[in-house]
Amino acid sequence: MSRAYNFCAGPAILPTEVLQQAREEMLDWRGTGMSVMEMSHRSGEFVAIAKEAERDLRDLAGVSDDYAVLFMQGGASSQFATVPLNLLGDKSSADYINTGIWSKKAIAEASRFADVNVAASSEADGFTTVPDQSVWHTNPDAAYLHYTPNETIGGLEYDFIPESGSVPLVADMSSTILSRPLDISRFGLIYAGAQKNIGPSGLVVVIIRKDLLGQARAQTPTMLNYQVIADNDSMYNTPATYSWYLAGLVFKWLKARGGVQAMGEINRRKADKLYGYIDASDFYANPIEPRFRSWMNVPFTLADDSLNSAFLKGAEERGLLNLKGHRTVGGMRASIYNAMPEDGIDALIDYMQTFEKERA
Ligand SMILES: *Cc1c(COP(=O)(O)O)cnc(C)c1O
């Protein structure tokens, strides 16, 4: 068996140990004679799997009983509409911070339901920075304040949690959840598509403060109503059972490795090493203001764009996959989520050095 280092932004690399366990349990989950994929979601076995995954996520992330944890479907993108439908309540406007492509998508979708106030934007700076909170024009009467802590495509990450006063803070944590310790109590709602740091695509995890439940607009589709999903333990309809199970295996893997504290230290080391190498080189460059460089997604360019395809071809030959940058940004991007081992960073830097020596 040969496992490549997969630097894809999502669906992303999963821990090898998790996939091995899933393989072992594939045909016969613990003597039931069934795959998890074939189990009724109402069965005792599956309900236990689901509950344990939730418990492990709560332990890992430090989620108190003040919050509901929902395992929904439709990816993070479905939340772009679900959030305003559920949180506007009797208000009409919501604040959004624009720091990149995912912010813009969230803003565009929310604009179909709400008066969106873009309280700050770094678009004029090419999304290479996060606007200082002192210049945000937030509305104290907004239903909520939405931001994107890690812009997966641009590789821009907040190094602070915004202050939102009594306005609930909403975060799209798809590509940064569980990458380090986080004070959940600062947030009204967190959502995260699973395919970066949690598990298979399609599943989206929502962590919502319970007092924010129960104010969905009347026309909200039942399947998008947080209260309905919470009341039914995320089983109003058939949930994404296998993805939920796999997420549970990832949570166990994280716990066994020391949880988010240990992951934070490893992730910082991985990012420092890669950015350190890029900065020391005249051949590779990253445009993001150093303070706001993402620990999870590291875009970089080559001194000469015409070498991009040769770089990618050589990388693939060494089992360094999916380093091509997003089509809207160009260049390269190395996504180095929790499941990317430190060896993968070393292998990437080793290749970058060799390529630079041969081509520069
Ligand atoms: C990947 C990603 C999304 C989109 O997730 P889907 O599950 O494809 O809808 C949204 N926001 C961020 C920050 C992402 O990284």
What is the rounded CA–CA span in Å between residue 168 and residue 166? 6
Quick one: 300 and 160 in the same domain?
A: no
Q: Is 350 left (phi over 0), alpha (psi -120 to 50) or beta?
A: alpha
Per the structure, the complete domain to which residue 343 belongs is given by 260-359
Looking at 221, 256, 291, the residue that finishes a domain is: 256
Q: Which of 29, 172, 252, 270 is catalytic?
A: 172
What is the rounded CA–CA span in Å between residue 311 and residue 298? 16
User: How many domains does the structure of the chain reveal?
Assistant: 2
Closest to 9 measured CA to CA, from 270, 195, 198, 243: 195
Give the pLDDT of residue 360: 74
Which residues, in sequence order, are bridge partners of residue 205?
A: 71, 192
Quick one: 290 and 180 in the same domain?
A: no
Nearest atom, ligand 1, residue 153 CA: 15
Quick one: 227 and 88 in the same domain?
A: yes
Quick one: 247 and 292 in the same domain?
A: no
Question: CATH number of the domain that 341 lies in?
Answer: 3.90.1150.10
pLDDT, one tens digit for every residue, the chain (360 residues)? 589 999 999 999 999 999 999 999 999 999 999 999 999 999 999 999 999 999 999 999 999 999 999 999 999 999 999 999 999 999 999 999 999 999 999 999 999 999 999 999 999 999 999 999 999 999 999 999 999 999 999 999 999 999 999 999 999 999 999 999 999 999 999 999 999 999 999 999 999 999 999 999 999 999 999 999 999 999 999 999 999 999 999 999 999 999 999 999 999 999 999 999 999 999 999 999 999 999 999 999 999 999 999 999 999 999 999 999 998 888 999 999 999 999 999 999 999 999 999 987
Hey, is 51 helix, strand or coil?
helix
Quick one: 335 and 352 in the same domain?
A: yes
Residue 12 lies in a domain: no
Quick one: 217 and 285 in the same domain?
A: no
Residue 11 lies in a domain: no
Atom 8 in ligand 1: residue holding the nearest Cα:
75
Annotation marks residue 196 as catalytic? yes
Quick one: 287 and 221 in the same domain?
A: no
**What is the whole-number distance in angstroms between the Cα of residue 272 and the centre of ligand 1?**
24
Test site for ligand 1: of 102, 156, 224, 295, most ligand atoms within 8 A of the Cβ: 102
Quick one: 140 and 202 in the same domain?
A: yes
Give the pLDDT of residue 1: 56
Token pair in block for residue 117: 């106030």
Looking at 240, 256, 272, the residue that finishes a domain is: 256
